[in-house]
Structure 1
């Protein structure tokens, strides 16, 4: 069989814009729509945004380019990519596959909550302005035994349908629909939010930095948010990069993806924080911002029911564009390594992930007293192992591998279609991948791991 036929059998993106939308969709998720506004609210608004954008270019772009370049060069999933260059490093790719598997198992549970709230918004059940009532509603949902598992199953079924269709026919096609729709919906919400009386205070909070608010904690929170928001260290971008043709300029793509991701995060801040300020709610409301505070805000708006539907449909699309990339990491591994066909790999891997996610759901209700790590049930344990250990460790080792093992000269040559990169850009990226990236991610890793004992 020819090399071309092998590539066609494995799958490739149908277009450059298809890859960018799919990769940006992988990055755009609940971290943008919920966590970014919440982290901005917690860390002084504009001060956090300023630090976030600086770190985005220093660390986010650096690792994004490294991952997609490694993927395209090898045309293999995470484990195979490392093995092809240095066999003894294959286990580093394995960290990404395990991280994607674990994250999707609990991320799908949260995706189920979003589906449930979309149905509630459609039926008018969220038309309630009392945060205590809404808080009780949310608590009843996540602590229930069967309802969240049913929605967890529906959410995973949606992932199966999309990933089953392959790269260009499934993931790319879905991303080309969901990502533009996501932008339209979030712009509608942002316009509505900024036209509310008193919204100016929210915009000022978000975009006018108070330099006195910048602290070590703000910098570390921004660093962690950039790293996790861009789906780095979990094999997603290596896997997506492996489906790119050799004519695509990866530097342009690695620039566009973080910019789109940050654009959505900023729009999410504009769509939520001015409205929160306008109605006198707390901007640092934590997980309750999405499921308690914002429904209360919508209930007090003219046409609030419509905007609640738009918001939770937006969140569902964002959750799906991320979750399909996580499932694809696992599917690509099985297809490449075990030689299963895509249909079998997608169905079986999704079923296993669904089953592993059931304890995560139950740990917020009937199994709340079962602890795996100290003080953490299944849901929090999955989250901690993936987000605080596997992702930063995978990112740190990626920097070392590309910077020192594979070599930056090889990476730069692969990154462009003509092999030519401006000297200043190449020199800057080499310095960032060899020194700044490992140092920054090492700090995140140490800080995250210390959280286990805090």
Structure 2
């Protein structure tokens, strides 16, 4: 740190816990997690999710906390500096570049979605979101975010995203400008409790919906919870011309089941089949989705925790703090998000409305749900405002790693680094928002950075912790000042099991989602992301990848020329 830029610290343990929890709590908790759980069968998904939490989540979380604090004690707060300093190996700072690239690039499109949340909250409060059909909800969403043509998102009326984008961008940088304790920590101390209170209010309303439509008695909250959490799934299957059976529709509720059984008994080409928990666990896509959700759930592999932990003091307890932060996040995800969104959508819209993508569930289905329920205008506002608060706490965490890196690499104070990062992210966000047609820029960057590079960074971090630093030294770093140490079994898990699990999941995911090869069926269909680059080149997709490469190169060049990143290796030689 320079004399004009003294070392920052968190003011309290609860402050860092709420800040780290805030970085993880976001749209993934209230939309992505419930959607995946209902898709795969709650019981099966939760088992895979819990295994992934123990093997991937806690391991990488504790590793990031330990490495971050150790790097902070050596005077570094950015991922390139931390990895270089604690290992004494110059080249590892280039792997640390990912810890800056990932959060900065994600911020460029996440702030756009953050503006959607605020815009929907304001429009609910203004009474503009009373939809009678899915077509109306989709039309409003398309118009609001500018999905029909490039440049359409720059409108500044209340029914357009432009004004809200400017507002949230200014809010984020105002808070980050105030610093670690007076900005991020102070905001999270108020925002996180407020978020949980709002979520509880909406949850109570959802749990008391009963059966809104007496004409469809199977559409009720109880069946909505059953649809999401039952360990078994029941489907009507249809015989194909080749004699194979394929899923036709899912069945939920006793009346629907009885009707389906009667229909199947009258036709030899239909059958009702129950898919058990063990059978569901043989679906490797379930494991891919569960492992992927862990990254979003705990904010691991984002470059955020390692940065936040670098501002801890030497004797601060990283083991307990890490466990507390993950517990708070799991409460929001499983206890609130898992009981709120999908059951509400099912109760009013049935299975068709409760399934779909994260954005489809959040910005198409749920506005229709709130339009249909008593006092829906109020509860719609509360729901989207809590999403907005969650998005702000997450977006702040995405900015801090970039701030820390610019401070160290350019040897400037916080205020100048905030200005520099503001210019960089404004250009990047402007690119994403301008190319709003079909959300192509957002979707491309989200795939290659928000999914692909997160896997890479998480794998890099756990391998460095277990193999480069060494598991014994790594655990000693983690246990310093701990009320209780990391369980001994985690020494074996973090060194062998977690890297193997991650590499296996990553290989399967890349094979299926990048190269389009389905291991189970042997069929190959290139993913849209691969097609956009190499099969049917899409200009926006190429420009999006080019933007990622340019930002990565900029960070790597700064890491190369920065005086602060000239490390002393383990043998005492300059490297």
TM-score of the two chains, using structure 1 as the length reference: 0.92
Task: After TM superposition, list the pairs within 5 Å mapping 1:54-453 onto structure 2.
Answer: 54-75=51-72, 76=76, 77-84=78-85, 85=87, 86-143=89-146, 144-147=152-155, 148-197=161-210, 198-210=220-232, 211=277, 212-214=279-281, 215-266=283-334, 267-281=336-350, 282-286=353-357, 287-365=359-437, 377-418=440-481, 425-450=486-511, 451-453=513-515
Q: Which runs of 5+ in 2 are unaligned?
A: 147-151, 156-160, 211-219, 233-276, 516-526, 528-575
Aligned equivalents of 1:332, 1:435: Cα separation in 2: 32
Conserved? CA contact 1:149–1:358, under 8 Å:
no
Tell me by how many angstroms 1:7 deviates. Answer: 12
Aligned equivalents of 2:290, 2:440: Cα separation in 1: 26
Aligned equivalents of 1:440, 1:152: Cα separation in 2: 39
- Residue of structure 2 in register with 1:372 after alignment: none
Aligned equivalents of 2:482, 2:324: Cα separation in 1: 19
**CA offset digits 1:73-121 (Å, max 9, x no partner):** 1102211001102222011110121111111101111111112111211
Aligned equivalents of 1:119, 1:420: Cα separation in 2: 45
437 and 7 in structure 1: CA distance in 2 versus 1, 3 angstrom threshold:
farther
Q: Which runs of 5+ in 1 are unaligned?
A: 369-375
339 and 152 in structure 1: CA distance in 2 versus 1, 3 angstrom threshold:
same
Tell me by how many angstroms 1:187 deviates. Answer: 1.0
SS in 1 for 2:118: helix
**CA offset digits 1:424-448 (Å, max 9, x no partner):** x543221222122212222343244
Aligned equivalents of 1:419, 1:265: Cα separation in 2: 27
SS in 1 for 2:190: helix
Aligned equivalents of 1:379, 1:452: Cα separation in 2: 17
Conserved? CA contact 2:69–2:306, under 8 Å:
yes
Conserved? CA contact 1:96–1:390, under 8 Å:
no
Asked whether 1:30 is paired with 2:27, we answer: yes
- Residue of structure 1 in register with 2:8 after alignment: 11
Aligned equivalents of 1:20, 1:263: Cα separation in 2: 14
Aligned equivalents of 1:285, 1:354: Cα separation in 2: 31
- Compare CA radii of gyration and give the structure with the larger one: 2
Aligned equivalents of 1:446, 1:153: Cα separation in 2: 40
Conserved? CA contact 1:121–1:308, under 8 Å:
yes
- Residue of structure 1 in register with 2:521 after alignment: none
Conserved? CA contact 1:112–1:151, under 8 Å:
yes
Conserved? CA contact 1:78–1:94, under 8 Å:
yes
TM-score of the two chains, using structure 2 as the length reference: 0.73
More helix by share: 1
Conserved? CA contact 1:199–1:275, under 8 Å:
yes
Aligned equivalents of 1:379, 1:363: Cα separation in 2: 8
Conserved? CA contact 1:388–1:448, under 8 Å:
no
Of 31, 36, 39, the match for 1:39: 36
Aligned equivalents of 1:219, 1:140: Cα separation in 2: 36
418 and 380 in structure 1: CA distance in 2 versus 1, 3 angstrom threshold:
closer
Aligned equivalents of 2:292, 2:31: Cα separation in 1: 15
Tell me by how many angstroms 1:8 deviates. Answer: 8.6
Tell me by how many angstroms 1:234 deviates. Answer: 2.2
234 and 284 in structure 1: CA distance in 2 versus 1, 3 angstrom threshold:
same
126 and 434 in structure 1: CA distance in 2 versus 1, 3 angstrom threshold:
same
Aligned equivalents of 2:5, 2:95: Cα separation in 1: 27
In angstroms, what is the RMSD of aligned CA positions? Answer: 2.0
Conserved? CA contact 2:297–2:333, under 8 Å:
no
131 and 419 in structure 1: CA distance in 2 versus 1, 3 angstrom threshold:
closer
Aligned equivalents of 1:252, 1:30: Cα separation in 2: 26
448 and 357 in structure 1: CA distance in 2 versus 1, 3 angstrom threshold:
farther
Conserved? CA contact 1:413–1:420, under 8 Å:
no
Q: How many residues align?
A: 440
Tell me by how many angstroms 1:59 deviates. Answer: 1.0
Aligned equivalents of 1:452, 1:152: Cα separation in 2: 31
SS in 2 for 1:58: helix
Aligned equivalents of 1:56, 1:191: Cα separation in 2: 28
- Residue of structure 2 in register with 1:371 after alignment: none
SS in 2 for 1:302: coil
Aligned equivalents of 1:310, 1:421: Cα separation in 2: 39
Aligned equivalents of 2:145, 2:383: Cα separation in 1: 20
Range 249-258 or range 72-81, more displaced: 249-258
